[in-house]
Amino acid sequence: MTIKELLARFDFPVYLAPMEGVTDGTFRRICKEYGADIVVSEFISSDALSREVEKSFRKMAFTDAERPFGVQIFGGTEEALTAAARLAAAQTPDFIDINWGCPVKKIVSKGAGAAILQDIPKMVRLTEAVVKAVDLPVTVKTRLGWESADKPIVEIAERLQDVGIQAIAIHGRTRAQQYGGEADWSLIGAVKANPRMTIPVIGNGDINTAERALAYRERYGVDAVMVGRAAIGNPWIFQQIKALRNGTPCPEPTYDERVDLVMRHLRENVHDKGERVAVLEMRTMYSGYFRGVFNFKPRKIKLMSATTVAECEEILRG
């Protein structure tokens, strides 16, 4: 199935953005249940995959409940990227996604992620090599450009389409912006409005409310929206987007509903990762799960030092 056909299955397609340390299997499944249409793995190092590092293979694991599901890979060499793409394709996801947008220094310093925005011909060449290496659809997630004076995203999108990608997700910031400032959706809209573009364009950046998701899709004409940081500890945002789309806004979850979902999330991750890791990782989620809850800070302080599931539940329900 092509990406265009896949997106046509949904009235208002919404992606859960791939996020390292966040979009593991448990969280992807929860977001799917709450309305996310398409989910993607945490990004996976092509070098690690080609060296058969066990942790990287675990990141590719998924269940049928997560479909449509994509595996996202990153890297800076043709050999490693194509090898990783073949290994990922062997897991039979619905598509392979290449990360050409991560702004983090340790990724960029390896010539991967957003670093490629400094060498567009290389970006095109490596992307084409991945497209030719696998039979699955290949998509790309990238940014507007390297810095404010260099935002060649319209050209990038055309050239990547020409070498065979089936969709492009664009974060409306440059690498220099990291995650600061406001996402510029006007250039995302320019890509979509380009008459040469025939593949789906997915808009990403600052989609932090249901109202904004609907407004941006209508204003800029994108084929889908992608929710990233606003979904951390907040799977309800997908439910809210779908409800508003149908004209029936849904209420904010109650405190007890939040606790119940946190405990489910925590217990499922204990099964996958062990108690110590699951409890530590959940610390990054509490701010999202309990955003707006009056006087939650004293509980959060206690949760930051909790080391067992039982302790966490006692603090939350006490």
Structure confidence at residue 50 as a pLDDT band (50, 70, 90): confident
The pLDDT of residue 4 is 97
- Asked if the model's pLDDT at residue 314 lies above 80, the reply is yes
- Asked if the model's pLDDT at residue 49 lies above 90, the reply is no
Encode pLDDT of 253-282 as tens digits. Answer: 999 999 999 999 999 999 989 999 999 999
The pLDDT of residue 318 is 86
Encode pLDDT of 2-37 as tens digits. Answer: 999 999 999 999 999 999 999 999 999 999 999 999
From 31, 102, 250, 312, the catalytic residue: 102
Q: Which residue has the tokens 């595996």?
A: 71
The DSSP secondary structure of the chain, one letter per residue, reads --HHHHHTT-SS-EEEPP-TTT--HHHHHHHHHTT--EEEPPPEEHHHHHTT-HHHHHHT---GGG-SEEEEEE-S-HHHHHHHHHHHHTT--SEEEEEE----HHHHTTT-GGGGGG-HHHHHHHHHHHHHH-SS-EEEEEES-SBTTB--HHHHHHHHHHTT-SEEEEESS-TTTTT-S---HHHHHHHHH-TT--S-EEEES---SHHHHHHHHHHH--SEEEE-GGGTT-THHHHHHHHHHTT-PPPPPPHHHHHHHHHHHHHHHHHHH-HHHHHHHHTTTHHHHTTT-TT-HHHHHHHTT--SHHHHHHHHH-
- Tell which phi-psi region holds residue 35, choosing left (phi > 0), alpha (psi between -120 and 50) or beta: left
Structure confidence at residue 56 as a pLDDT band (50, 70, 90): confident
Encode pLDDT of 78-115 as tens digits. Answer: 999 999 999 999 999 999 999 999 999 999 999 999 99
- Asked if the model's pLDDT at residue 54 lies above 90, the reply is no
Structure confidence at residue 55 as a pLDDT band (50, 70, 90): confident
Mean pLDDT over 133-139 rounds to: 98
Handedness of CA 240, 216, 66, 179 (dihedral sign): negative
Mean pLDDT over 146-160 rounds to: 96
Q: Which residues of 33-51 are buried (b: 16+ CB within 10 A; e: fewer)?
A: ebbbbbbbbbbbbbbbbbe
Tokens of 278: 């699951």
Structure confidence at residue 249 as a pLDDT band (50, 70, 90): confident
The percentage of residues in the chain with a pLDDT greater than 70, rounded to a whole number, is 100
**Measuring CA to CA, how many Å separate 228 from each of 43, 105, 189, 268?**
13, 19, 19, 22
Give the separation between CA 93 and CA 177, rounded to whole angstroms: 32
- Asked if the model's pLDDT at residue 52 lies above 90, the reply is no
Of 209, 197, 192, 131, which is closest to residue 163 (Cα–Cα)?
131
Mean pLDDT over 139-152 rounds to: 96
Mean pLDDT over 122-139 rounds to: 98
The pLDDT of residue 51 is 78
User: 73 φ, ψ to 5°?
Assistant: -120, 155
The whole-angstrom distance between residue 56's C-alpha and the CA centroid of its chain comes to: 17
User: Is 102 a residue of the active site?
Assistant: yes
Structure confidence at residue 219 as a pLDDT band (50, 70, 90): very high
Mean pLDDT over 170-199 rounds to: 97
β-pair partners for 150: 147
Question: What average pLDDT is seen over the chain?
Answer: 96
The DSSP secondary structure of 220-244, one letter per residue, reads H--SEEEE-GGGTT-THHHHHHHHH
- Asked if the model's pLDDT at residue 223 lies above 90, the reply is yes
Identify which has the larger pLDDT, 49 or 38.
38
The percentage of residues in the chain with a pLDDT greater than 90, rounded to a whole number, is 93
